[in-house]
Amino acid sequence: MIGGWFVTGTDTGVGKTCVAEALLQALSRKGLRGVGMKPVASGCERGSDGVRSPDALRLRAASSVTVDYRDLNPYAFEAPIAPHIAAVQAGVEAQLGVVQRHFARLAEKADWVVVEGAGGWCVPLNRNQLLSDMARSMGLPVILVVGMRLGCINHALLTARAVRGDGVRLAGWVANCIDAAFDFVPENLAAIDQRLGAPCLALIPFNKANKSDAWQAAGDAMLAGLLPDWS
């Protein structure tokens, strides 16, 4: 059985990359072999090595094993739009089978694979499949990143319902404070926690001065909640 987690979010821009990166770094601090994966990415940059995703590069840097970039990020598109639309513009259709093959290669080299989705749970992968189909095919439990802002309760509960409706286990959720003007964070957090039916693995404060320390603490907290035997 492959170990790892699929990191999804209530929306785009809620901190999925930061959460995946922090979890990979926590695995490394415990001496566990972890590798990141960003199967589909848009808004990528073209350089001497080809088209690369900044998010995927962060996950590669946080991984404790060395892997081929193509395995980590098989589909990279330059246009900063929804991945399936960017793929059409590039004349490509992302294939689930291709993602599965690259995922299997990563799983052979690491004990834990941390996969970061794109956008939210129901973002299209191609004309017929969603990223949720990809997550389900990997057999990984889900970590839900909730952007703490107006509407977060509804978005969190709807996403959790969709994850479970697709037959995937929700391992826990992370509350990421992304809006400085958002009031009543404790009240909103409590409302989600009472209803989501999965543990809150970490709370990330907004714009903390020692940001790296905050994310390190969050990574350790997540790992302790997910793998209590390693805490």
The pLDDT, as a whole number, for residue 209 is: 59
| pLDDT tens, residue order, the chain (231 aa) | 579 999 999 999 999 999 999 999 999 999 999 999 999 999 999 988 889 999 999 999 999 999 999 999 999 999 999 989 999 999 999 999 999 999 999 999 999 999 999 989 999 999 999 999 999 999 999 999 999 999 999 999 999 999 999 999 999 999 999 999 999 999 999 999 999 999 999 999 987 656 788 899 999 999 999 998 765
The pLDDT, as a whole number, for residue 220 is: 95
In a domain, 214, yes or no: yes
Which residue do the tokens 């509350």 mark?
175
**How would you label 88-97 residue by residue, b for 16+ Cβ within 10 Å and e otherwise?**
beeeeebebe
The DSSP secondary-structure symbol of 110 reads -
In a domain, 73, yes or no: no
In a domain, 84, yes or no: no
Task: Give the H/E segment covering residue 152.
Answer: helix 152-165
In a domain, 87, yes or no: no
Which of the residues 16, 38, 208, 211 is marked catalytic?
Answer: 38
In 137-204, at which residue ranges do the beta strands (DSSP E only) sit? Answer: 142-148, 170-177, 200-204
Between β-strands 142-148 and 170-177, what pairing exists: parallel, antiparallel or unpaired? Answer: parallel
The domain spanning residue 29 has which CATH number? Answer: 3.40.50.300
CA separation for the pair 184, 174 (Å, rounded): 17
Residue 7's beta-bridge partner residues?
116, 143
The pLDDT, as a whole number, for residue 231 is: 56
CA separation for the pair 229, 118 (Å, rounded): 30
In a domain, 79, yes or no: no
| Residue 73 identity | N
- Residues 6 or more apart whose CB falls under 8 angstroms from that of 157 comprise 192, 195, 196
CA separation for the pair 3, 210 (Å, rounded): 31
In a domain, 121, yes or no: yes
Clarify whether 38 is annotated catalytic: yes
In a domain, 205, yes or no: yes
Cα angle 166, 169, 175 (rounded to 5 degrees) comes to: 105
CA separation for the pair 50, 220 (Å, rounded): 34
The pLDDT, as a whole number, for residue 208 is: 63
- Which residue segment(s) compose the domain that 224 sits in? 3-37+95-230
- Number of structural domains the chain divides into: 1
